[in-house]
Chain A
């Protein structure tokens, strides 16, 4: 049986780094677990920024220094059939600022549950193969963490529903994956009774604009090794800019683009053990930190 493997670097973790906000991962690759295959493991992430975009203006803040977000994320993925997978992730996150006086935050963030379905496969020519994958995702906070203390908060607190479409083309060892997810975000509540965006709001409810998360992976994919270059983009449909010298807010328009590279490798001597690593660098953004993010993970695949 052709071993189907998994590549689990999350674009959402890298790109929802609105002030290094790591978020439960969404599923953006074209790899499916085979029937009755079960993959689980942990990813460690270290993401930090010194400069951030206040609206569209890049600046640093000597009262924050370098803001670092670290997380350990548990991920599990099960193949119900070769074409239907279910996934879940749970991240534990902690934040820290190197300067100033703000207190770091820590805790479990949002659980993410996904159903991934490969609904169309076709051969193109002799060597080419095209896959279309749809995904439905649901995420919600695991606990009532403080969302209104950005940039130290560990998350934004919204419950999200996402629909993703992934197009994957492989020819020989070369592949390209284009994937895009539309994320519906629920309103969130904050601990204060009023807040200002571009006007005053006399309520503790905040309307969270929806988002589009997109990514392009290009690289080589062999049974035991994948190396890919990545371009990832997050776009928020609305929200306001951080005003000059204001604090960031949950409903800011957080946009960003990052480039990077990811590697996944199966050890030759323990063929069920997968190592992953990656580095992503934000190159453009709005209302978020210009983060550099490094990830490393270890996954084990069981065939039940």
Chain B
């Protein structure tokens, strides 16, 4: 019996040791410190906006004087909250203190990943199309494929930026000191944030909550309830932190929602709603291609799936006009059967027949396929985590995210225009023995979307953070390469994609040089 006892106690000890190895998997950005702007960008109210014609297009009434009992009541609310702050509330304040542009971007990336699932085929072999009118019925709306995602990131980032420019305009107009500047008790209890001289009326946290709430109604109509909860949490955190009064919040929320309407109106008319195309459009691509004696792309899925958003190239860009989209098209890819194409196919085949572990790592790192936040989301993650170290103000953070995401949206438009202009097959269509290290996207090969997104992102990010320019360029090269060694693109797709992406990025630089933020 002794044996039993010793064996069991040994086993139990071992299990206790194993259990005590904490399985603590936390996000890279969970414990970021509170935002500490090195510059409050007090002139941001004059920066060039995207759609807002004037920073005061939407009126924000002057706050009540500080002598007004309503103001005292607002301060009392903060004090009462701070006195009985629960652990969860403190965590919420800390979470949002890292930066609301950052946090909303993370939330958006989560939604993109959640909705990035292609519809499963119906029993008759066709594929249903998600409906914005009925977002919660299967297939869920939206399907956040890369073009949809790029546009969502673009609109939300641009709307946030315009709204914060207006916010800064009114902050400097009314110069209402933050609660922690006005009241010493609040100052003493506002310990999870960095206290600055930035006026608090209207609240930037509430502007962002308002913008996001409204934009999500359009872009993620199935998530309105969840987003409103996040918006309420963000606004409550701003009050509990001592950074904003209820009046600051109400003014900011209303301003954000009004600015968002400009972007929603634009989005409704930007042609994205027609990007799915019709069966006639789908066959037209084949007819045109065949008429030119070329080999048309076809879907490699079983059953064959209609091409992804074939008319997305007609969406209205942010950084240039639609004629420029056509002007940015590169020359044609080598035709199927040509010597050059045969060489290109052989190169893909050679990579696929000898996959190294490093190549597989690169493919998976940049895959950003089904169930992920897509390549534009990946570049958002890269940018946001770098920006978070820069001691930006919220308005500068928003400006830089807007530059990135307008670039990515326009890169999607240009890339999709090129893809459906040339309608070129994937390597596996030309040589079915090419097996791939990631899923083959359901649209034509030339030019590589990853390369275009990455070339564009690296260009504008390298302008924003010149010290990182070489790093971003290397990442973009690797992202492009990942599609070649993964077997889903020819080299020419990646090279042309990077080049086109850079051209798109240069338009963003042009904008950045002239927006007043330098």
The interface of chain A, by Cβ under 8 A from chain B, is 59, 62-63, 99-104, 117, 119-120, 132, 134, 136, 144-146, 148-149, 161, 163, 182, 184, 186-187, 190-196, 199-203, 205-208, 243-247
Contacts and interface: CB of A to CB of B under 8 A. Distances in A.
Contact of B25 (A146, A148, A203, A245): A203
B442 to A, nearest CB: 11
A245 B4 contact: no
A186 B21 contact: yes
B118 A196 contact: no
A203 B7 contact: no
Contacts of B19: 184
B268 interface: no
A194 B373 contact: yes
A59 B25 CA distance: 32
Given A101-B428, A103-B352, A191-B364, A203 B28 contact: yes
A180 to B, nearest CB: 12
Contacts of A102: 435-436, 439
B25 A187 contact: yes
Q: Ordered nearest first, which 7 A-B pairs have the shortest CB separation?
A: A200-B110, A191-B364, A196-B113, A103-B435, A62-B302, A202-B27, A184-B18
Contact of A117 (B7, B23, B120, B368): B7
A119 B435 contact: no
Given A103-B437, A149-B438, A202-B381, 11 more contacts: A99-B302, A101-B436, A103-B352, A149-B364, A161-B14, A194-B378, A200-B109, A243-B117, A244-B117, A245-B370, A246-B117
9 contacts: A120-B4, A148-B364, A163-B11, A192-B364, A200-B109, A244-B117, A246-B370, A247-B369, A247-B370
Nearest to A206: B25
Interface in B400-430: 428
A193 B437 CA distance: 18
Given A187-B23, A200-B110, A245-B117, A163 B4 contact: no
Given A120-B4, A146-B360, A245-B117, A101 B25 contact: no
Interface in B8-47: 8, 11, 14-15, 18-19, 21, 23, 25-29
A134 B381 CA distance: 48
B435 A144 contact: no
Nearest to B114: A196
A122 B434 CA distance: 61
A208 B18 CA distance: 13
B120 A245 contact: yes
Contacts of A206: 25
A202 B106 contact: yes
A202 B18 contact: no
Contacts of B360: 146, 149, 191
Nearest to B28: A202
B371 A246 contact: yes
B3 A119 contact: yes
Contacts of B114: 196, 200
Given A200-B109, A206-B25, A207-B25, A245 B119 contact: yes
Interface residues of B, number: 55
Nearest to B120: A245
A184 B15 contact: yes
Contact of B355 (A103, A161, A184, A208): A103
Contacts of B487: 101, 103
A174 B301 CA distance: 53
B212 to A, nearest CB: 16
B364 A146 contact: yes
A301 B28 CA distance: 52
B365 interface: yes
A2 B456 CA distance: 75
Interface in B90-134: 106, 109-110, 113-114, 117-120
Nearest to B300: A101
Contact of A195 (B29, B300, B372): B372
Interface string B365-394: 101111111000010010000000000000
B138 interface: yes
Contact of A202 (B11, B29, B117): B29
Contacts of A134: 7-8, 11
Nearest to A202: B27
Given A184-B15, A247-B370, A190 B364 contact: yes
A196 B28 CA distance: 15
A190 B437 CA distance: 15
B173 interface: no
Given A200-B110, A247-B371, A63 B302 contact: yes
Given A120-B3, A163-B11, A184-B15, A194 B117 contact: no
Contacts of B300: 101
Given A100-B302, A245-B118, A119 B372 contact: no
Nearest to A147: B364
A51 to B, nearest CB: 14
A252 B365 CA distance: 20
Contacts of B435: 101-104
A48 B113 CA distance: 30
Contacts of A194: 109, 113, 372-373, 378, 381
B401 to A, nearest CB: 16
Contacts of A145: 357
A98 to B, nearest CB: 12
A182 B12 CA distance: 11
Contact of A146 (B301, B357, B373): B357
A212 to B, nearest CB: 13
B18 A161 contact: yes
B145 to A, nearest CB: 13
A221 B370 CA distance: 50
A243 B371 contact: yes
A146 B356 CA distance: 11
A199 B371 CA distance: 11
Nearest to A104: B435
Nearest to A133: B7
Contact of A196 (B110, B365, B367): B110
B361 interface: yes
Contacts of B440: 101
B269 interface: no
A163 B15 contact: yes
Contacts of B437: 103, 149
A104 B371 CA distance: 21
B110 A199 contact: yes
Contacts of B3: 119-120
A132 B364 CA distance: 46
B303 interface: yes
A71 to B, nearest CB: 19
A146 B119 CA distance: 27
A186 B300 CA distance: 38
Contact of B365 (A100, A184, A192, A200): A192
Contact of B436 (A103, A146, A195): A103
A191 B110 contact: no
A245 B373 CA distance: 16
A294 B119 CA distance: 35
Contacts of B373: 194, 200
A172 B86 CA distance: 66
A303 B400 CA distance: 73
B105 to A, nearest CB: 11
Contacts of B119: 245
Nearest to B385: A202
